A and B are shown apart, each in its own frame.
Chain A
C-alpha cells in the first residue's frame, strides 16, 4: 500500500513578462488501488499538475510538497521519480528519431527494474503486452513515436504502463484523439494493469467519455489552478449534464 500526497502545490511558468502562476495550492491524496479523475475546462492547469509531478523543467514549484510514501518527490530528478514508481502517460508523446521502440522499452525497463530483463522471457513479455493492446509485432521495430497515429501513440503509452509497473500512473488526456474502439482497447489496458498491480491512478480528462470504461472512485473538479469541488462518480454525471460553466464564472 503506497500513498502519493500532494499538499498545497503551487506552480509557475516563466513567460516573457515574468512568472505566471498556474497552480494555486492543490491538495490531493491518492492511495494504491484508487482511481481519481481530475476533470476541468481547458487551461485550468490539469496538465501542469501532471507535468509538475513528473518533473518537467518548464515548471517552477513555488510552494507546497509532493511525497510518495513520505519521500520528497520534488527533490528527485525526472528519472528518479520514474524509478520511485511514478508514471506519466503523456497527451503528446515525443518522437525520438532513430531510437527503436524495442531498444527504448528495454532501456527503460532495465532502468526501472535495476537489471536487464532476461532475454528468454523478455521477448514473450513484450509480445503478450502488445497483443493485449492489439499492436502488431512490427511496431517494436519502428522509431519511437515517429509517424505513429494518435491511437498508436496512446497504445504505446499504455504498453509502457504494463511493462514498467509503476505504483502510480498519471494519465494526461489519454482519451483525446481516440476513436471508440481505440478508447476501449486503451481503457481495458489501464484496467488490466490496475487489477494486476494495485495501481493508483490519476486520470486527467476534459470529457466524461473515458469514465464509462475506467471507473473513478473519486472525482475532482479543477478550475483556476486548484480543486474546486470533490465527490464520487456521481459528480461526473453532473458535469456531463451541466458542463464547467459554474466553475469558470466562480
Chain B
C-alpha cells in the first residue's frame, strides 16, 4: 500500500479543465481515494538499429515538463518503473518503430514513458492502442536540436477501454515534431497533446482525426506553449460524430508569451455531425502577450452534412451511400494524406470506413 505524498484534489467536474469529461466513467483514474497500480505500457518486439529501449527506475529520471493535470500528477506520483525509448543522435530510422500496447488484463494502470529523439535524428514512432485497457499515462517526448520526429498515436481501442493521457513534446532548436492522433475506439478517451519549445527555429505540426459513435466520449485538449521566440505551430483536427450521445470535445489552447517574438501559429478544428443526438464542443483559445509575431489565427466549424454536395454527386449517378462516403473520406483526406506512410494512411481510412459501415452511412 503506497501513500500519495501529495494530496491531489479529486476533480468534481465543475473545474474548467474537467467540465466536459464524464468523471463517473473514468474507473477511478481521476479519484485520489482509489489506488491504481502501475504497469509498463509497451512492448518493443523488434528494436531497430539506432534505437534503445529500457526500463528505468524513477530515481534516474527527471521530468522534462510541468503538468497541472490531476490524473497525470497521479501517474507521476505512482509510477516507479519508467519506459524509455531513445533514438541515437544522427540516426535515420527508415521504417516506423511500432510500440505495441501490453495488455494488463483490464486492471486500471498508470504508466509513464519517455521518448528521446537524438540530435539530427529522423524517425517515426507508432503507438498502437488496442484492447480493453483502463489506462492513465504520460508520454514525454524530447526532441534534441535538429531532430525530426513523427509521432503517431492510434486509439483503436475496444468499446470498453478508458484512456486518459498526456503526450507532451519538448522541441529543441531547429527540430520539428509532427504528430497524428487518431481516435476511433474506446468508451472514454481524454488526450492532452501538448507542446513546448526549448530552442528557436523549431516547429510543431499537431494533427488529429476522430470519429465518435453512440455513447463514446472522445476529448482532445491541445496546448501549444510558445514560450520562446521564432517557433512555429500548426494544429489541424477533424472529427465526425454519429449516433446518440456521441460526444467529442476539442480544446485548442495556444499561448504566446511576451518573449515569443516571431511566433507563427494557426489552429483549425472542423466537426461533421452525421446524425441527431451527437454533440461536438470546439473551443479554440488564443492568448497573445506580444504583437511582434509572424501570424496567429484559429478557425473552428461544426456543421451538418452538406446536401448540395450529396445532390451534385448523386446527379452523376453515384448512389447516396457511396456519395456520403466520398464526402466523408474527402473531409478527412487532407490530414490522413499527410501521414506519409501508405500502410498507416490505408489503415486509418479503413477504420473510418468501418465506422461508417457500423453507423449505416
Residues of A bordering B, CB below 8 Å: 54-57, 77-79, 81-83, 87-88, 90, 93-99, 103-104, 107-108, 111-112, 143-144, 160, 164
Contact = CB atoms under 8 A, between A and B. Distances in A.
B330 A98 contact: yes
A57 B334 contact: no
A79 B312 contact: no
29 contacts: A54-B315, A55-B314, A57-B311, A78-B311, A79-B315, A79-B318, A82-B317, A83-B317, A87-B315, A88-B315, A94-B311, A96-B312, A97-B330, A97-B331, A97-B334, A98-B329, A99-B326, A99-B330, A99-B333, A107-B318, A107-B326, A108-B313, A108-B316, A111-B316, A111-B319, A112-B316, A144-B330, A164-B316, A164-B317
Given A79-B318, A98-B329, 7 more contacts: A56-B311, A79-B316, A82-B316, A83-B317, A96-B326, A107-B322, A108-B317
Given A104-B326, A107-B326, A111-B322, A94 B312 contact: yes
Contacts, number: 80
A160 B334 CA distance: 25
Contacts of A112: 316-317
Contacts of A95: 309
B315 A98 contact: no
Given A96-B330, A107-B326, A55 B315 contact: yes
Nearest to B335: A98
B109 to A, nearest CB: 38
Contacts of A104: 313, 316, 326
Contacts of B314: 55, 77-79, 82
Contacts of A83: 317
Nearest to A105: B316
B345 to A, nearest CB: 13
B307 interface: yes
A57 B313 CA distance: 13
Interface in B312-359: 312-320, 322-323, 326-327, 329-334
Given A57-B307, A90-B312, A107-B326, A98 B317 contact: no
